[in-house]
């Protein structure tokens, strides 16, 4: 199986290519296609992970269904047979990895929920004793469970740079107090549902980020949701605060890039076959554990 690094849908208008997804305009809606591209340290690598886009899409579809009573989402259909006729010639590129979705006015913030201390949250806590201005108890470690989950929003980077953590007051200034309160409520409600499900499967959902938009009907959940690309999932049986926890994501990729002392400047290097394969296996394992199903690529 070869990795799909870039889609080409002929005359269908391409709106942009992100680190992973290609976005097209179609009949007043959007087509979101998850490629097999993989990024690390803010660079897209020369090697993709075969089937990764399908795994991410299928995980998102699982969660959209599980969360639908909490918040509506942007999904119209993920069945290529139900897509507009002009997409039929490209079914081989789209099968299993694409979603026809509603257009929405997106909120310019990343809505992050954290139940554990990791990543940028750990860095801020070490320096300030806070995360996004929220004071936390002294003595926490990298990987510690927080007294209760917290809402830690971030700016939404437009140029591939790092998102920056911001305070809730800053979110209120950007989108207004009423919407800020509602996005926080939805984020924490989704996190509570998702972390409980993950826990029932032997996983810890350490943190995750969501994107919301607004349509004429109201606020909806958009983009991807609760995938290993947007969330930290840890094996609960191996959780041990005091250092970075092994996660169900591209850790093999980051470890390899560190081992070759890449300077984290373009162009990004290619990956050995075994690193790509082990990364694919980790994504597939996350799908199996979360959904209870096996995915055939």
Q: What is the pTM of this model?
A: 0.95
Above 90 in pLDDT, residue 102?
Answer: yes
All structural domains of the chain, each given as residue ranges with its CATH number in brackets, are: 1-103 (3.30.200.20), 105-238 (3.30.470.20)
In 3D space, the residue among 19, 37, 17, 20 whose CA is nearest the CA of residue 270 turns out to be 37
Mean pLDDT within 79-88: 98
Cα 229 to its chain centre, rounded Å, is 4
Mean pLDDT within 17-42: 96
Cβ contacts of 74 within 8 Å, gap of 6 or more: 99, 101, 102, 104, 213, 215, 220, 221, 222, 223
Above 70 in pLDDT, residue 162?
Answer: no
3-state secondary structure of 269: coil
3-state secondary structure of 237: helix
Where residue 158 falls among pLDDT bands split at 50, 70, 90? low
């Amino acid at each position: 199986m070869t990795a799909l690094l870039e889609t080409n849908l002929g005359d269908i208008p391409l709106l942009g290519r992100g680190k992973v997804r290609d976005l097209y305009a179609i009949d007043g809606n959007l087509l979101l296609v998850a490629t097999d591209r993989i990024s690390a340290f803010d660079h897209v690598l020369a090697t993709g992970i075969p089937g990764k886009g399908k795994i991410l899409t299928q995980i998102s579809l699982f969660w959209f269904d599980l969360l639908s009573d909490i918040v509506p989402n942007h999904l119209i259909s993920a069945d290529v047979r139900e897509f507009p006729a002009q997409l039929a010639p490209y079914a081989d590129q789209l099968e299993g990895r694409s979603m026809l979705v509603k257009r929405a006015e997106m909120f310019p913030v990343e809505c992050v929920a954290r139940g554990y201390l990791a990543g940028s949250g750990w860095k801020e806590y070490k320096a300030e004793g806070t995360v996004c201005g929220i004071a936390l108890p002294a003595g926490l470690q990298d990987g510690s469970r927080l007294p209760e989950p917290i809402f830690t929003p971030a700016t939404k980077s437009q140029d591939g740079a790092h998102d920056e953590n911001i305070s809730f007051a800053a979110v209120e200034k950007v989108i207004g107090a009423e919407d800020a309160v509602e996005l926080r409520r939805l984020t924490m409600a989704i996190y509570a549902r998702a972390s409980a499900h993950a826990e029932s499967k032997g996983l810890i959902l350490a943190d995750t980020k969501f994107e919301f938009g607004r349509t004429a009907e109201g606020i909806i959940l958009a983009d991807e949701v609760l995938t290993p690309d947007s969330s930290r999932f840890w094996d609960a049986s191996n959780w041990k605060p005091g250092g970075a926890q092994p996660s169900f994501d591209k850790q093999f990729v980051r470890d390899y890039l560190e081992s070759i002392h890449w300077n984290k400047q373009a162009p990004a290097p290619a990956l050995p076959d075994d690193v790509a394969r082990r990364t694919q296996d980790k994504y597939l394992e996350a799908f199996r554990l979360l959904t209870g199903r096996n995915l055939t690529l």
